[in-house]
Every structure is written in structure tokens, then in C-alpha cells.
Structure 1
Amino acid sequence: MKIDILGISEMRSFPKSGDFWSGDHRIIYTGASEKKPGTGGVGIIMNKTLGKKVKGYIQYDDRIILVKLQTKPKDTIVVQVYMPTLNSNDEEVEEVYENIDKIIENVKGEENLVVMGDSNAVVGEEKKTIPGLRRDPSDDLDASSKRPGRSPLAALLHH
């Protein structure tokens, strides 16, 4: 199996943010949560070719990392997201959604955008959530499309 780029969630064994090469692979990561040591952390692993095309990166926090790659005909922005679980408090969840919204709003029209990661969604009888939407799907049924009721996925599709 050949993998050019891979997003990783739960990189909790790396306490601090970093960027390093391991053989022919470049790893850029955020490190574990400072608030909850031993939890969180996201990263992106790239092959040698893509690793050399990194124009820059932003390590937002332990849940979001963005890497900008020089690709043709347009640059590509890759975002790895690790969403809080359904047991997390609403403030933590909203903070992640707000950060994703900010990223989407700042992507230029001529750039490619890839958002990937672990949405921590649950589908089944006990919890009914839809991947990419807020924890309570009724939160996304805002007819006026005002910011508070709009999911990052909806923002991405209508951007």
C-alpha cells in the first residue's frame, strides 16, 4: 500500500508540537493537550515528495493542524481535525467548530482544501449523529443560515 499523506489523531505521546523527518517521511504535529495531558494531539505524515513541498503550517491547538502544500495548478491546504467526543462540554466542541470555520473562511478561492480527521460521530440507537454535523442534528436546521446554526461542513459546501 502506498500512502502519500496521512492524518493522525490521538498523538498524545508527543507532549510538544514539532516537525521532523523520519526516513523518507515528514511528520508535523501539534502535541498533546496542555489542559488534559496525555490526551489529544493531531499530526500529518507525508511522503518525501510532499514533505519537500510544505510551504508552511499552523499548529492551532491539540485538535487542529493545517499544512499548506505547493501543488499545481493550485496550492493545497490540508487540515487534520480531532473532534471532541460526545461527552465533551459544549464550549470545547464550539471552539473546535469556530476554528474550523475560521480556517475555511481564510482559504483563498484558488486554493484546494482538504479537511480530514476523526469526527467522533456515533450512529446507532442510543446516539443519533451525522458525520460532519454538530452533535445534535437539529442545531443544523437553521432556516436562516445564520452562523450559530451552520455546521463547518455546510460552510465548506456553500463557500
Structure 2
Amino acid sequence: MKGFRQKTDEDIASEKLYDFFDEQKKAVVHCWHPPDGKSYFTLLLQIPQINAKGERTGKRDHIDLIVQIKDILLLLEVKGTLSDSGVDIDKLNNIKKAFTIDQLVELFEKQGAEFAIKPKELILGLGARYVDTKYIKDDFAIFQADNNSLLSHGEIAENLLKLL
């Protein structure tokens, strides 16, 4: 059909991760920013960028998927292939350095997010359709998502899924 684009690997991984977490009774999807940039199902939560001096730059970051599991807030960036996540790893690490969990919750509440349980822990995560195992980071939750399956890589992701 003319005008419709074929789904990319990133589209497939992002949709699977959103659908998976959205179906879990013990998870709350606060934000889903799909690859096409059209966020119709959730709020589009934004995080101001902070420079090395601790000052706001005027630019904002969007996180692909923000999920709460019990008192854990998961910031998840998604790519087609995990090895393409270098910029996302830097972005997530910069956010973690610049904001406490309480500051992020307050920022999201100001944008309309509602938290029945206040998050106490922040976990950074990466999702991809294809996971090249040499790029797995021990300090991130890593999820591999395809049309028919969701796999966890590493202890952090496995422990998160056990909470569901």
C-alpha cells in the first residue's frame, strides 16, 4: 500500500516491549515514545538536558518507555540492534547523574504522571530486537523483544521480570 512504511526492527522491539509491560497487572506504563514519534497511548514525558555545569540546556530528552514495577522506575531505550545503543547509554547515564529518583518523579508528576506507589529505585534499561551479547552491560536491564518473544539478558532484567 502506498504511504505505509514497513516496520523496522526498532518498531517491532518497541511495540513488543510496550505491549508486554502494558499487559502486566503489576506494571504501569507511564510513557511510550514509539520510533515514529507519535505517542497516542500514554503521556509524552520529557526530561530537561543538563550540561556538565549542572545547568539546563533548553533541550529535552524523551525516553522510549518509562515503566513502573512496584517501587522501581525503569527508563528503557529501544533500538533495532543493541550495538546501536551507544548514544542511548550516554543519555540514560546522564539522566541518572543529573536527577535523583525523587526529582524525576516530581518532574513527571508536573507533566501529568500519577504514581500510586512512589518509586524509590531507578533502573536503566535497553531493549532491542537483536542483542549482540558482547554489548550487554551489567549495570543495565537488557531486553530482547521480537514479534513472538521477550527475553531478558542479565540479572537486573531477570529480577525485574520476577516482580511481575
Query: Could you say which structure has the greater relative contact order, defined with CA pairs below 8 angstroms and 6 or more residues apart?
Result: 2
TM-score when scaled to structure 2?
0.35
The structure number with the bigger radius of gyration is 1
TM-score by length of 1: 0.36
Which has the larger helix fraction? 2
